[in-house]
Amino acid sequence: MHNKLFEKYERGNRSHLIGLLQDVQDVYGYIPEIAIIDIAEFLGLPTSSVFGVATFYNQFRLTPLGKNVINVCRGTACHVKDSANILFALENELGIKVGMTTRDKEFTIEQVACIGACSIAPVISINGEYFGRLKTKDIPKLIAEFKKNKEEEIVKNEGTE
């Protein structure tokens, strides 16, 4: 499955573990379970060791991201401006918790230490687009806009087939 990814690495050289995990994630957007098994076999490591490294570092994810990635800032300025309730409102609206993706693979919620847009706190970003000075009452409308755009995209694509 991952033969091309493994070509530049030496079989059995355990120092390549992080690089292999990074390459797999670059290709798939996450690290599938089968890749953990393949990497363990390739490097001569127990699967549990590869899994342990993949779960230890925040840079790795074991599930695919949704189409719309929501980053909720929890930095000091956002915290003071009640970003905890913004996060809670997002979780309620989407029916998932931080780090999870909706069943339809449309939304993923991630918590970040700081987005760097303190002047518009509390702030979130969705696919890199910033939404600041948010109130919890803004969340349902914001999510509905993204869902509406998805529905319009489906209708548009059905008309071109």
Q: Which residues pair with 70 in a beta bridge?
A: 109, 126
* 146 alpha-carbon distance from chain centroid: 17
Q: For residue 59, which of 79, 30, 85 has the smallest C-alpha distance?
A: 30
Kind and range of the H or E run holding 34 = helix 33-43
Task: For residue 39, give the amino acid letter.
Answer: I
pLDDT in tens, 55-86: 999 889 998 999 999 999 999 999 999 999 99
Domains, the chain, in order of start with CATH, read 3-56 (1.10.10.1590), 68-159 (3.40.30.10)
Q: What is the pTM of this model?
A: 0.76
pLDDT in tens, 89-136: 999 999 999 999 999 999 999 999 999 999 999 999 999 999 999 999
